[in-house]
Amino acid sequence: MWKEIGELQLKFMKEQGLQPNEMLKIGCGSLRGGIFFIKYLNKGKYTGLDLNSSL
């Protein structure tokens, strides 16, 4: 199910104007959704931060 949610998040963000230039995700967790953004964005343009250092 996380695949469908990740795809929906990416679709929504693109509809809101997300461009492949760069992205900062605060609270990225273990990248369950972030992997979809990483594939869409230009190489090296995803930055994710999370309070839980084990993730």
Q: Which residue has the higher pLDDT, 33 or 52?
A: 52
Q: Residue 19 to residues 1, 14, 23, 54: CA-CA distances in angstroms? A: 25, 7, 9, 29
According to DSSP, the β-strands at 23-26 and 46-49 are parallel
pTM for the full model? 0.78
Please write the tens of the pLDDT for every residue from 1-48: 888 998 999 999 999 999 999 888 888 888 888 899 999 999 999 999
Domain ranges of the chain: 2-49
